[in-house]
Amino acid sequence: MVDHATHLKAVNHPIRREMLRYVNESQKISREKLIEILKKEEIINEDSVFQYNMDFLLQAECVKRFEEKDEIFYEILPAGKVIEKF
């Protein structure tokens, strides 16, 4: 169970909020596609920025990471759906 402060820190950060928005809209999105979108929209500029923020979202249980056919995907979890209210 994630504490409330960690959850708020996860969903209130501008980069993570955008990440959650794209994962939520897609239901399931590949890591590569998500990075591509975020770079195109100039939300991130490096893969390391993506990884840091995604690790935070995973730790806060806002998204779930899984693999299919040797590709990494993310799915929104109920804690990440708070983004729908923004």
Q: What is the pLDDT of residue 70?
A: 95
Cα angle vertex 82, ends 78, 86, to 5°?
A: 155
pLDDT band at 75 (very low <50, low <70, confident <90, very high): very high
Sign of the alpha-carbon torsion through 8, 50, 77, 25: positive
Mean pLDDT in residue range 6-33: 93
Q: What is the identity of the amino acid at 69?
A: K
Is the distance from CB of 53 to CB of 16 less than 8 angstroms? yes
Prediction pTM value:
0.91
* Residue 49 CB coordination number (10 Å): 15
CATH architecture designation of domain 4-85: Orthogonal Bundle (1.10)
Q: Where are the domains of the chain?
A: 4-85
What residues contact 28, with CB distance under 8 A and at least 6 apart? 73, 74, 75
